[in-house]
Amino acid sequence: MRLTAGAYDIVWPVVFERHTRAMELRRSHPACAASVRGLRPECLDRFQDDVEAVLDDLLHNAKVPIRNLEGWIARRINAATVDAHRRRRGARGALQRPRLPQWLGRALGGDPWLTRLAVELLTWVGVPTTAGSGLWPLGAWAELRLRVTGDPSAGEPAVGAEVETVLRAMRQSAVWYANFVERPLGRKEIPVTAAHRPAAGADDGTLLPPGRTDSDDDAYLHALADAAVRAIEGRLGRGEDPADAVRSVVGRVFTGGTGTEELDRVPGTAPAPDERVAALLADPAVVDRITGTVLAILGPPAE
């Protein structure tokens, strides 16, 4: 423990100065590049992941006395962080090194932007977080599209439509899509905020709690619903029964919180989310209603 603590004190300043600062400047985050204290939450998470990777590399590979430890660490930062990043992506079920399969390039007609977007999408599904309240970073991709195509006319709605085009092409290989898109998407860490309790007696038996007044909480629920619909769509594409898909996906997605959404509630004053969702899904009428809603959202299957 003393060795690890001492190594950590040496590693983190080297990682920040020789790796993180340059990365944050490339991301146009000058405040994050100024100091560790200025790192945004998501940037701090990346920094801590990198420090952990470099620390692990040091403790496992420093087999002989090292005269210049900081220099030794600096030379190995890139390899250590890249290797750890790929292992984390693999653990989430994403491709460790996202590349465009030939069949997908053909399905997209070889279009330079759509094929680039497909690789960006494969990269994004392996990132643990979501794009705020949305599933895809459409704003960043709209800026990328402008740089790649030089076309200033396409904004986020147009890029969103292009994402759907890429996803339809990916679903042509149902097993591949389930393994490398649907699975890592289902493991993303949905942002969770403290929820506000609805007024007494406001429970009307619907799946999504009514009476939410906090916009962040609404965004969290919308993100959950979007993830659930996409997961159900993937299962339907593989021929699964709609009601069975709804029970399985909704039962997992809406009971997968970290507990922070209940921190503002007095313990024992309301059913736990797991209990409430399980009770609702045990009612065939509720399952039928949810199934009908999801099918209406997805529309008729493609011929």
pLDDT tens across 118-154, in order? Answer: 999 998 888 776 656 677 888 888 888 888 888 777 7
Q: Note the pLDDT of residue 83.
A: 85
Q: Note the pLDDT of residue 166.
A: 93
Q: Note the pLDDT of residue 77.
A: 92
Q: How many residues in total does the chain contain?
A: 303
Encode pLDDT of 218-250 as tens digits. Answer: 555 666 676 777 778 778 877 888 888 888 888
**Residues with pLDDT less than 50, the chain:** 192-217, 256-271, 303
Nearest to 33, CA basis, from 44, 20, 42? 20
Overall pTM surpassing 0.75 (yes/no): no
Q: Residue written as tokens 């990043």?
A: 85
Q: Note the pLDDT of residue 270.
A: 44
Q: How many CB atoms lie within 10 A of CB 268?
A: 7
Q: Note the pLDDT of residue 152.
A: 77
Q: Note the pLDDT of residue 300.
A: 63
